Chains A and B, each alone.
Chain A
Amino acid sequence: MSKRLDGRKNDELRPINIKLGVVKSAAGSCYLEWGKNTVVATVHGPRPIFPKHLSDSTKAVIDYRYRMAPFSVSERKSPVPGKRDKEISLVSGFALESAIMTEKFPNTVIDINALILSSNAGTRVAALTAASLACVDAGLPMRGILTAVSVGRANGEFLSDLTKEEEDAEDAVDTAIAVLMPQKEITLLQMDGFVNKEDWKKIISMGFIGVDKVYELQKKALLEKYPVNGDINE
Protein backbone atom coordinates (compact mmCIF):
# COMPACT_ATOMS: atom_id res chain seq x y z
CA MET A 1 0.00 0.00 0.00
CA SER A 2 1.32 3.39 -0.95
CA LYS A 3 1.54 6.00 1.76
CA ARG A 4 1.87 8.85 -0.73
CA LEU A 5 -0.99 11.27 -1.07
CA ASP A 6 -1.16 10.86 -4.83
CA GLY A 7 -1.00 7.06 -4.60
CA ARG A 8 2.42 6.76 -6.24
CA LYS A 9 4.95 4.09 -5.30
CA ASN A 10 8.00 5.45 -3.47
CA ASP A 11 10.22 5.27 -6.52
CA GLU A 12 7.54 6.30 -9.01
CA LEU A 13 7.81 9.59 -10.88
CA ARG A 14 4.88 11.83 -11.67
CA PRO A 15 3.71 11.72 -15.31
CA ILE A 16 6.13 13.46 -17.66
CA ASN A 17 5.12 14.84 -21.02
CA ILE A 18 7.74 16.32 -23.36
CA LYS A 19 7.42 18.18 -26.66
CA LEU A 20 10.31 19.62 -28.64
CA GLY A 21 10.43 22.63 -30.96
CA VAL A 22 7.50 24.54 -29.53
CA VAL A 23 8.93 28.06 -29.80
CA LYS A 24 9.38 29.04 -33.43
CA SER A 25 11.71 32.00 -32.93
CA ALA A 26 14.23 30.01 -30.87
CA ALA A 27 17.09 27.92 -32.20
CA GLY A 28 15.84 25.14 -29.97
CA SER A 29 13.02 24.73 -27.50
CA CYS A 30 11.21 22.28 -25.27
CA TYR A 31 7.87 22.18 -23.47
CA LEU A 32 7.70 19.89 -20.50
CA GLU A 33 4.97 18.89 -18.08
CA TRP A 34 6.10 17.04 -14.97
CA GLY A 35 3.23 16.38 -12.60
CA LYS A 36 1.84 19.81 -11.87
CA ASN A 37 5.00 21.54 -13.09
CA THR A 38 4.94 23.19 -16.49
CA VAL A 39 8.13 24.52 -18.10
CA VAL A 40 9.09 26.11 -21.40
CA ALA A 41 12.80 26.23 -22.24
CA THR A 42 14.46 27.94 -25.19
CA VAL A 43 17.96 28.30 -26.59
CA HIS A 44 19.28 31.28 -28.54
CA GLY A 45 22.76 31.34 -29.98
CA PRO A 46 25.64 30.80 -30.03
CA ARG A 47 25.76 34.50 -30.86
CA PRO A 48 28.07 37.48 -30.22
CA ILE A 49 28.34 38.47 -26.59
CA PHE A 50 27.83 42.01 -25.30
CA PRO A 51 29.38 43.72 -23.47
CA LYS A 52 32.54 42.32 -25.01
CA HIS A 53 34.49 42.05 -21.76
CA LEU A 54 32.21 39.20 -20.69
CA SER A 55 33.51 37.04 -23.53
CA ASP A 56 35.77 34.05 -23.00
CA SER A 57 38.39 33.37 -25.66
CA THR A 58 38.44 29.66 -24.83
CA LYS A 59 34.72 28.82 -24.84
CA ALA A 60 31.14 30.01 -25.18
CA VAL A 61 29.58 31.62 -22.13
CA ILE A 62 26.42 29.86 -20.96
CA ASP A 63 23.81 32.33 -19.77
CA TYR A 64 21.11 30.23 -18.15
CA ARG A 65 18.10 31.91 -16.62
CA TYR A 66 15.65 29.99 -14.49
CA ARG A 67 12.57 32.09 -13.83
CA MET A 68 9.23 31.50 -12.20
CA ALA A 69 6.20 33.25 -13.67
CA PRO A 70 4.33 35.41 -11.11
CA PHE A 71 1.30 33.10 -11.38
CA SER A 72 3.28 29.86 -11.03
CA VAL A 73 3.04 29.72 -7.23
CA SER A 74 0.17 29.91 -4.75
CA GLU A 75 0.84 33.48 -3.74
CA ARG A 76 1.81 35.83 -6.59
CA LYS A 77 5.57 35.99 -6.97
CA SER A 78 7.31 39.20 -7.97
CA PRO A 79 8.66 38.94 -11.52
CA VAL A 80 11.96 40.33 -10.23
CA PRO A 81 14.32 37.36 -9.81
CA GLY A 82 15.19 36.70 -6.18
CA LYS A 83 18.28 35.17 -4.58
CA ARG A 84 16.89 31.66 -5.03
CA ASP A 85 16.28 32.14 -8.76
CA LYS A 86 19.78 33.54 -9.24
CA GLU A 87 21.48 30.73 -7.36
CA ILE A 88 19.53 28.05 -9.23
CA SER A 89 20.36 29.77 -12.52
CA LEU A 90 24.06 29.80 -11.64
CA VAL A 91 24.47 26.15 -10.63
CA SER A 92 22.12 24.86 -13.34
CA GLY A 93 24.09 26.91 -15.89
CA PHE A 94 27.27 25.15 -14.70
CA ALA A 95 25.53 21.81 -15.18
CA LEU A 96 24.59 22.75 -18.76
CA GLU A 97 28.15 23.92 -19.37
CA SER A 98 29.39 20.41 -18.57
CA ALA A 99 27.01 18.96 -21.18
CA ILE A 100 27.61 21.41 -24.05
CA MET A 101 30.87 21.47 -26.01
CA THR A 102 31.33 25.16 -25.30
CA GLU A 103 34.94 25.10 -26.50
CA LYS A 104 33.62 24.95 -30.08
CA PHE A 105 32.20 28.48 -29.86
CA PRO A 106 34.75 30.83 -28.26
CA ASN A 107 33.81 34.48 -27.73
CA THR A 108 30.08 33.81 -27.98
CA VAL A 109 27.15 33.44 -25.62
CA ILE A 110 24.52 30.74 -25.58
CA ASP A 111 21.36 32.05 -23.94
CA ILE A 112 19.25 29.36 -22.34
CA ASN A 113 15.99 30.34 -20.69
CA ALA A 114 13.65 28.21 -18.66
CA LEU A 115 10.34 29.64 -17.54
CA ILE A 116 8.22 27.87 -14.94
CA LEU A 117 4.58 28.48 -15.81
CA SER A 118 3.15 26.31 -13.07
CA SER A 119 4.92 24.75 -10.11
CA ASN A 120 4.65 22.01 -7.54
CA ALA A 121 8.15 21.12 -6.26
CA GLY A 122 11.02 19.91 -8.40
CA THR A 123 11.00 22.89 -10.75
CA ARG A 124 14.77 23.21 -10.97
CA VAL A 125 15.15 19.61 -12.17
CA ALA A 126 12.20 19.92 -14.56
CA ALA A 127 13.72 23.12 -15.96
CA LEU A 128 17.15 21.50 -16.45
CA THR A 129 15.64 18.42 -18.08
CA ALA A 130 13.78 20.67 -20.52
CA ALA A 131 16.70 23.06 -21.09
CA SER A 132 19.02 20.19 -21.96
CA LEU A 133 16.57 18.94 -24.59
CA ALA A 134 16.19 22.46 -25.98
CA CYS A 135 20.00 22.47 -26.46
CA VAL A 136 19.80 19.22 -28.41
CA ASP A 137 16.90 20.66 -30.42
CA ALA A 138 19.09 23.69 -31.22
CA GLY A 139 21.67 21.35 -32.69
CA LEU A 140 24.38 22.25 -30.18
CA PRO A 141 27.21 19.72 -30.00
CA MET A 142 26.75 17.88 -26.70
CA ARG A 143 28.82 15.49 -24.61
CA GLY A 144 25.58 13.92 -23.48
CA ILE A 145 22.11 14.75 -22.28
CA LEU A 146 21.50 16.30 -18.89
CA THR A 147 18.87 14.48 -16.93
CA ALA A 148 17.66 15.65 -13.57
CA VAL A 149 15.38 14.41 -10.83
CA SER A 150 14.59 15.25 -7.23
CA VAL A 151 14.84 12.59 -4.55
CA GLY A 152 14.71 12.57 -0.80
CA ARG A 153 12.91 11.50 2.31
CA ALA A 154 9.57 12.43 3.82
CA ASN A 155 7.67 10.90 6.72
CA GLY A 156 10.34 8.22 7.13
CA GLU A 157 10.11 7.02 3.52
CA PHE A 158 12.70 7.37 0.77
CA LEU A 159 10.99 8.95 -2.21
CA SER A 160 11.59 9.90 -5.82
CA ASP A 161 10.17 13.11 -7.23
CA LEU A 162 8.80 14.77 -4.10
CA THR A 163 5.69 16.93 -4.20
CA LYS A 164 5.36 20.24 -2.35
CA GLU A 165 3.48 18.53 0.47
CA GLU A 166 6.24 15.94 0.85
CA GLU A 167 8.97 18.60 0.78
CA ASP A 168 7.27 20.28 3.74
CA ALA A 169 7.43 17.17 5.94
CA GLU A 170 9.16 17.59 9.30
CA ASP A 171 11.94 15.09 8.45
CA ALA A 172 12.22 16.13 4.79
CA VAL A 173 15.48 15.62 2.96
CA ASP A 174 15.42 17.33 -0.41
CA THR A 175 18.06 16.49 -2.99
CA ALA A 176 18.23 17.78 -6.56
CA ILE A 177 20.54 15.75 -8.77
CA ALA A 178 21.45 16.26 -12.42
CA VAL A 179 23.45 13.63 -14.25
CA LEU A 180 25.21 13.74 -17.60
CA MET A 181 23.87 10.75 -19.54
CA PRO A 182 24.82 8.19 -20.60
CA GLN A 183 28.15 8.80 -18.78
CA LYS A 184 26.40 9.00 -15.39
CA GLU A 185 28.51 11.89 -14.13
CA ILE A 186 27.06 14.18 -11.46
CA THR A 187 26.78 17.75 -12.72
CA LEU A 188 24.42 19.22 -10.15
CA LEU A 189 23.86 18.17 -6.57
CA GLN A 190 22.02 20.33 -4.07
CA MET A 191 20.63 19.13 -0.82
CA ASP A 192 19.22 20.23 2.46
CA GLY A 193 17.89 18.14 5.27
CA PHE A 194 19.27 16.05 8.12
CA VAL A 195 20.37 12.60 7.05
CA ASN A 196 23.12 10.08 7.80
CA LYS A 197 25.49 8.90 5.10
CA GLU A 198 23.96 5.45 4.58
CA ASP A 199 20.50 6.88 4.09
CA TRP A 200 21.76 9.57 1.76
CA LYS A 201 23.55 6.91 -0.27
CA LYS A 202 20.19 5.19 -0.70
CA ILE A 203 18.67 8.49 -1.76
CA ILE A 204 21.43 9.10 -4.34
CA SER A 205 20.95 5.57 -5.70
CA MET A 206 17.25 6.32 -6.09
CA GLY A 207 18.32 9.45 -7.95
CA PHE A 208 20.30 7.40 -10.48
CA ILE A 209 17.31 5.09 -10.98
CA GLY A 210 14.98 8.08 -11.44
CA VAL A 211 17.40 9.67 -13.88
CA ASP A 212 17.39 6.47 -15.99
CA LYS A 213 13.60 6.72 -16.28
CA VAL A 214 13.65 10.39 -17.26
CA TYR A 215 16.45 9.70 -19.76
CA GLU A 216 14.27 7.13 -21.54
CA LEU A 217 11.48 9.72 -21.85
CA GLN A 218 13.94 12.31 -23.14
CA LYS A 219 15.17 9.91 -25.81
CA LYS A 220 11.59 9.07 -26.78
CA ALA A 221 10.76 12.77 -27.22
CA LEU A 222 13.90 13.30 -29.30
CA LEU A 223 13.08 10.32 -31.51
CA GLU A 224 9.59 11.66 -32.05
CA LYS A 225 10.98 14.83 -33.57
CA TYR A 226 14.17 13.39 -35.03
CA PRO A 227 13.49 9.81 -36.11
CA VAL A 228 16.69 7.80 -36.53
CA ASN A 229 17.42 4.20 -37.26
CA GLY A 230 19.40 2.25 -34.72
CA ASP A 231 20.60 3.09 -31.26
CA ILE A 232 20.40 6.74 -30.24
CA ASN A 233 23.41 6.28 -27.94
CA GLU A 234 25.71 5.73 -30.88
Chain B
Amino acid sequence: MSDILSLINANSVKQTIKQGKRQDNRAFDQIRDLEIKTSVLSSADGSAWVKLGNTEVVAGIKFAIGTPYPDSPDEGSMSLNLELTGISSPDFSTGPPQIDALEYGRVADRAIRSAKCIDFKKLAIVPGEKVLILFIDCVAINADGNLIDATELAALAAIKNAKIPKLNENNELISKEYSDNKIELLNIPISFTFEKIEDKIIIDPTENEEYASDARFSIGLVNDTIVSCQKSKGGVFSEDEIFTMIDLSVKKYKEFSKKIENID
Protein backbone atom coordinates (compact mmCIF):
# COMPACT_ATOMS: atom_id res chain seq x y z
CA MET B 1 0.00 0.00 0.00
CA SER B 2 1.31 3.43 -0.76
CA ASP B 3 2.70 5.28 2.22
CA ILE B 4 0.02 7.84 2.96
CA LEU B 5 -2.89 5.43 2.51
CA SER B 6 -1.37 2.86 4.83
CA LEU B 7 -0.77 5.56 7.46
CA ILE B 8 -4.39 6.68 7.27
CA ASN B 9 -5.63 3.09 7.50
CA ALA B 10 -3.29 2.33 10.37
CA ASN B 11 -4.50 5.38 12.28
CA SER B 12 -8.12 4.47 11.83
CA VAL B 13 -7.40 0.91 13.05
CA LYS B 14 -5.66 2.32 16.12
CA GLN B 15 -8.62 4.59 16.91
CA THR B 16 -11.04 1.67 16.66
CA ILE B 17 -8.85 -0.58 18.81
CA LYS B 18 -8.60 2.14 21.48
CA GLN B 19 -12.38 2.08 21.67
CA GLY B 20 -12.22 -1.67 22.30
CA LYS B 21 -13.48 -2.59 18.83
CA ARG B 22 -12.20 -3.89 15.54
CA GLN B 23 -13.05 -2.58 12.11
CA ASP B 24 -14.82 -5.79 11.14
CA ASN B 25 -16.65 -5.91 14.50
CA ARG B 26 -14.82 -8.98 15.69
CA ALA B 27 -13.86 -9.47 19.32
CA PHE B 28 -10.13 -9.14 20.03
CA ASP B 29 -9.93 -12.92 20.51
CA GLN B 30 -12.09 -13.88 17.54
CA ILE B 31 -10.69 -15.61 14.47
CA ARG B 32 -12.32 -15.02 11.08
CA ASP B 33 -14.39 -17.75 9.41
CA LEU B 34 -12.24 -20.53 8.10
CA GLU B 35 -13.05 -22.57 5.03
CA ILE B 36 -10.83 -25.37 3.73
CA LYS B 37 -11.32 -27.13 0.41
CA THR B 38 -9.10 -29.97 -0.73
CA SER B 39 -8.42 -31.69 -4.07
CA VAL B 40 -8.92 -28.36 -5.80
CA LEU B 41 -6.17 -28.82 -8.40
CA SER B 42 -5.75 -31.79 -10.70
CA SER B 43 -2.11 -31.14 -11.57
CA ALA B 44 -0.84 -31.35 -7.98
CA ASP B 45 -0.36 -34.56 -5.96
CA GLY B 46 -2.34 -32.92 -3.19
CA SER B 47 -3.91 -29.51 -2.82
CA ALA B 48 -5.89 -27.24 -0.54
CA TRP B 49 -7.56 -23.85 -0.84
CA VAL B 50 -7.89 -22.01 2.45
CA LYS B 51 -10.06 -18.97 3.07
CA LEU B 52 -9.50 -17.19 6.35
CA GLY B 53 -11.85 -14.25 6.07
CA ASN B 54 -10.68 -12.52 2.92
CA THR B 55 -7.23 -14.05 3.05
CA GLU B 56 -6.87 -16.89 0.57
CA VAL B 57 -3.94 -19.23 0.21
CA VAL B 58 -3.61 -22.21 -2.12
CA ALA B 59 -1.17 -24.99 -1.32
CA GLY B 60 -0.05 -27.61 -3.83
CA ILE B 61 2.05 -30.68 -3.19
CA LYS B 62 4.52 -32.18 -5.60
CA PHE B 63 6.58 -35.23 -4.82
CA ALA B 64 10.10 -35.54 -6.15
CA ILE B 65 12.84 -38.10 -5.76
CA GLY B 66 16.06 -36.99 -4.18
CA THR B 67 18.95 -38.00 -2.00
CA PRO B 68 18.54 -37.94 1.78
CA TYR B 69 20.39 -35.55 4.08
CA PRO B 70 23.61 -37.11 5.43
CA ASP B 71 22.37 -36.81 9.05
CA SER B 72 19.09 -38.61 8.31
CA PRO B 73 19.91 -41.16 5.59
CA ASP B 74 16.74 -43.22 6.06
CA GLU B 75 14.31 -40.30 5.96
CA GLY B 76 12.56 -38.33 3.27
CA SER B 77 12.17 -34.58 3.70
CA MET B 78 9.85 -31.67 3.13
CA SER B 79 10.24 -28.16 1.83
CA LEU B 80 7.66 -25.44 2.37
CA ASN B 81 7.71 -22.33 0.26
CA LEU B 82 5.36 -19.35 0.21
CA GLU B 83 5.07 -17.01 -2.71
CA LEU B 84 3.47 -13.60 -2.53
CA THR B 85 2.98 -12.41 -6.07
CA GLY B 86 1.35 -9.36 -7.56
CA ILE B 87 -2.03 -11.06 -7.90
CA SER B 88 -2.82 -11.10 -4.20
CA SER B 89 -2.11 -7.52 -3.19
CA PRO B 90 -1.15 -4.21 -4.80
CA ASP B 91 1.80 -4.18 -2.39
CA PHE B 92 3.48 -7.27 -3.75
CA SER B 93 5.43 -7.12 -6.94
CA THR B 94 6.94 -9.81 -9.06
CA GLY B 95 10.63 -10.45 -8.70
CA PRO B 96 12.87 -12.22 -6.22
CA PRO B 97 11.20 -13.66 -3.12
CA GLN B 98 10.38 -11.00 -0.59
CA ILE B 99 11.57 -11.09 2.95
CA ASP B 100 8.01 -11.22 4.35
CA ALA B 101 7.13 -14.27 2.29
CA LEU B 102 10.34 -15.90 3.41
CA GLU B 103 9.56 -15.27 7.08
CA TYR B 104 5.90 -16.35 6.89
CA GLY B 105 6.90 -19.52 5.04
CA ARG B 106 9.58 -20.38 7.55
CA VAL B 107 7.29 -19.84 10.54
CA ALA B 108 4.62 -22.08 8.98
CA ASP B 109 7.29 -24.64 8.07
CA ARG B 110 8.64 -24.67 11.63
CA ALA B 111 5.20 -25.36 13.14
CA ILE B 112 4.71 -28.39 10.89
CA ARG B 113 8.28 -29.65 11.09
CA SER B 114 8.81 -29.47 14.85
CA ALA B 115 5.39 -31.03 15.54
CA LYS B 116 6.88 -34.19 14.01
CA CYS B 117 3.53 -34.86 12.36
CA ILE B 118 5.04 -36.69 9.39
CA ASP B 119 6.90 -39.98 9.66
CA PHE B 120 9.68 -39.20 7.21
CA LYS B 121 11.01 -42.77 7.49
CA LYS B 122 7.97 -43.84 5.46
CA LEU B 123 9.18 -41.62 2.62
CA ALA B 124 12.45 -43.52 2.22
CA ILE B 125 12.70 -45.58 -0.99
CA VAL B 126 16.25 -46.91 -0.79
CA PRO B 127 17.63 -45.85 2.61
CA GLY B 128 20.81 -43.83 2.22
CA GLU B 129 20.25 -43.34 -1.50
CA LYS B 130 16.76 -42.46 -2.63
CA VAL B 131 13.94 -40.79 -0.76
CA LEU B 132 10.74 -38.96 -1.53
CA ILE B 133 10.81 -35.21 -1.02
CA LEU B 134 7.58 -33.44 -0.28
CA PHE B 135 7.49 -30.03 -1.93
CA ILE B 136 4.74 -27.87 -0.44
CA ASP B 137 4.34 -24.71 -2.45
CA CYS B 138 1.90 -22.11 -1.20
CA VAL B 139 0.68 -19.08 -3.08
CA ALA B 140 -1.39 -16.22 -1.74
CA ILE B 141 -4.43 -15.57 -3.92
CA ASN B 142 -5.71 -12.70 -1.81
CA ALA B 143 -3.71 -11.14 0.99
CA ASP B 144 -5.75 -9.66 3.82
CA GLY B 145 -3.55 -10.32 6.80
CA ASN B 146 -2.41 -13.34 8.79
CA LEU B 147 -0.74 -15.14 5.91
CA ILE B 148 1.24 -17.21 8.42
CA ASP B 149 -1.77 -19.09 9.80
CA ALA B 150 -3.50 -19.35 6.42
CA THR B 151 -0.32 -20.79 4.90
CA GLU B 152 0.17 -23.26 7.75
CA LEU B 153 -3.42 -24.51 7.48
CA ALA B 154 -3.26 -24.75 3.68
CA ALA B 155 0.02 -26.65 3.80
CA LEU B 156 -1.25 -29.07 6.42
CA ALA B 157 -4.52 -29.68 4.57
CA ALA B 158 -2.63 -30.29 1.33
CA ILE B 159 -0.33 -32.79 3.04
CA LYS B 160 -3.37 -34.65 4.38
CA ASN B 161 -4.89 -34.60 0.92
CA ALA B 162 -1.76 -35.78 -0.91
CA LYS B 163 -1.54 -39.14 -2.62
CA ILE B 164 1.84 -40.82 -2.79
CA PRO B 165 2.82 -41.55 -6.40
CA LYS B 166 3.57 -45.01 -7.76
CA LEU B 167 7.16 -45.88 -8.58
CA ASN B 168 8.39 -47.95 -11.51
CA GLU B 169 10.96 -50.77 -11.26
CA ASN B 170 13.81 -48.22 -11.39
CA ASN B 171 12.28 -46.35 -8.47
CA GLU B 172 11.26 -43.42 -10.61
CA LEU B 173 7.97 -41.56 -10.22
CA ILE B 174 5.18 -42.59 -12.57
CA SER B 175 3.34 -39.44 -13.53
CA LYS B 176 -0.31 -39.25 -12.45
CA GLU B 177 -0.39 -42.75 -11.01
CA TYR B 178 -0.84 -43.06 -7.30
CA SER B 179 -0.44 -45.79 -4.74
CA ASP B 180 -3.13 -46.29 -2.12
CA ASN B 181 -0.84 -44.80 0.49
CA LYS B 182 -1.42 -41.40 1.95
CA ILE B 183 0.68 -39.40 4.34
CA GLU B 184 -0.57 -40.12 7.80
CA LEU B 185 -0.64 -37.05 10.04
CA LEU B 186 0.64 -38.24 13.41
CA ASN B 187 -0.64 -35.07 15.04
CA ILE B 188 -2.12 -31.76 13.98
CA PRO B 189 -0.07 -28.61 14.52
CA ILE B 190 -2.09 -25.38 14.36
CA SER B 191 -0.56 -21.94 14.10
CA PHE B 192 -2.05 -18.88 15.87
CA THR B 193 -0.88 -15.34 15.15
CA PHE B 194 -1.38 -12.24 17.29
CA GLU B 195 -0.62 -8.56 16.83
CA LYS B 196 -0.14 -5.86 19.45
CA ILE B 197 -1.82 -2.56 18.61
CA GLU B 198 -1.92 0.33 21.08
CA ASP B 199 -0.96 -2.13 23.83
CA LYS B 200 -3.96 -4.33 23.04
CA ILE B 201 -3.50 -7.84 21.69
CA ILE B 202 -5.67 -9.16 18.89
CA ILE B 203 -5.75 -12.54 17.18
CA ASP B 204 -5.86 -13.20 13.42
CA PRO B 205 -5.08 -9.70 12.08
CA THR B 206 -6.37 -8.25 8.83
CA GLU B 207 -3.95 -6.46 6.54
CA ASN B 208 -4.90 -3.03 7.91
CA GLU B 209 -4.42 -4.27 11.45
CA GLU B 210 -0.97 -5.52 10.47
CA TYR B 211 -0.07 -2.02 9.25
CA ALA B 212 -1.14 -0.59 12.60
CA SER B 213 0.66 -3.09 14.81
CA ASP B 214 3.91 -2.73 16.74
CA ALA B 215 4.67 -6.38 17.44
CA ARG B 216 3.64 -9.82 16.24
CA PHE B 217 3.69 -13.20 17.91
CA SER B 218 2.99 -16.57 16.29
CA ILE B 219 2.70 -19.85 18.08
CA GLY B 220 2.45 -23.44 16.83
CA LEU B 221 0.48 -25.86 19.01
CA VAL B 222 -0.37 -29.54 19.18
CA ASN B 223 -3.17 -29.73 21.77
CA ASP B 224 -1.60 -27.90 24.72
CA THR B 225 1.98 -28.60 23.63
CA ILE B 226 4.03 -25.73 22.21
CA VAL B 227 5.98 -26.72 19.08
CA SER B 228 7.17 -23.39 17.69
CA CYS B 229 7.00 -19.68 18.18
CA GLN B 230 8.19 -16.49 16.57
CA LYS B 231 8.15 -12.91 17.81
CA SER B 232 8.46 -10.33 15.07
CA LYS B 233 8.34 -6.57 14.40
CA GLY B 234 9.93 -3.74 16.39
CA GLY B 235 7.68 -3.76 19.46
CA VAL B 236 8.00 -5.73 22.68
CA PHE B 237 5.98 -8.22 24.75
CA SER B 238 6.02 -8.95 28.46
CA GLU B 239 6.28 -12.52 29.72
CA ASP B 240 2.65 -12.32 30.91
CA GLU B 241 1.46 -11.25 27.48
CA ILE B 242 3.26 -14.21 25.89
CA PHE B 243 1.56 -16.70 28.19
CA THR B 244 -1.84 -15.03 27.81
CA MET B 245 -1.53 -15.59 24.05
CA ILE B 246 -0.50 -19.20 24.62
CA ASP B 247 -3.51 -19.82 26.91
CA LEU B 248 -5.91 -18.34 24.37
CA SER B 249 -4.39 -20.45 21.57
CA VAL B 250 -4.79 -23.61 23.64
CA LYS B 251 -8.48 -22.76 24.07
CA LYS B 252 -8.92 -22.28 20.32
CA TYR B 253 -6.91 -25.34 19.30
CA LYS B 254 -9.64 -28.01 19.19
CA GLU B 255 -11.95 -26.00 16.95
CA PHE B 256 -9.23 -25.75 14.29
CA SER B 257 -7.66 -29.19 14.62
CA LYS B 258 -11.16 -30.65 14.05
CA LYS B 259 -11.39 -28.83 10.73
CA ILE B 260 -8.17 -30.48 9.60
CA GLU B 261 -9.31 -33.86 10.94
CA ASN B 262 -12.52 -33.63 8.95
CA ILE B 263 -10.94 -33.15 5.54
CA ASP B 264 -9.45 -35.78 3.29
Contact indicator per residue, chain A 144-188, by CB within 8 Å of chain B (1) or not (0):
000000000000000000000000000000000000100111111
CB atoms of A91 and B231 under 8 A apart: yes
CB atoms of A194 and B102 under 8 A apart: no
Query: Number of contact residues on A: which range applies?
Result: 20 to 34
CB atoms of A190 and B230 under 8 A apart: yes
- CB-CB contacts below 8 Å: A83-129 with B: 83-84, 86-87, 90-91, 94, 97-98
Binding site of B, secondary structure by majority: helix, strand, loop or mixed? mixed
Task: Known A94-B232, A201-B243; judge A185-B115 contact (CB<8 A).
Answer: no
Task: Known A186-B231, A193-B227, A195-B226; judge A87-B242 contact (CB<8 A).
Answer: no
Across the interface, which residues of B come within 8 angstroms of A86, CB to CB? 99, 102
Across the interface, which residues of A come within 8 angstroms of B247, CB to CB? 197
Task: Known A86-B102, A186-B242, A188-B231; judge A194-B222 contact (CB<8 A).
Answer: yes
A91 vs B116: C-alpha distance when bound (angstroms) = 24
Across the interface, which residues of B come within 8 angstroms of A189, CB to CB? 217, 229-231, 237, 242
What's the minimum C-beta distance from A193 to chain B, rounded to whole angstroms?
Answer: 6
What is the size, in residues, of chain B's interface with A at 8 Å between Cβ atoms?
A: 32
| Of the residues A90, A191, A192, contact of B103 by C-beta under 8 Å | A90
Asked if B114 CB lies within 8 Å of chain A CBs, one says yes
Jot down 24 A-B pairs with beta carbons below 8 A, ordered by A. Answer: A83-B102, A90-B103, A90-B232, A94-B232, A94-B233, A97-B234, A98-B235, A183-B236, A184-B238, A185-B236, A185-B238, A186-B236, A186-B238, A189-B229, A191-B229, A191-B230, A193-B227, A194-B114, A194-B115, A194-B116, A195-B226, A196-B225, A197-B250, A204-B242
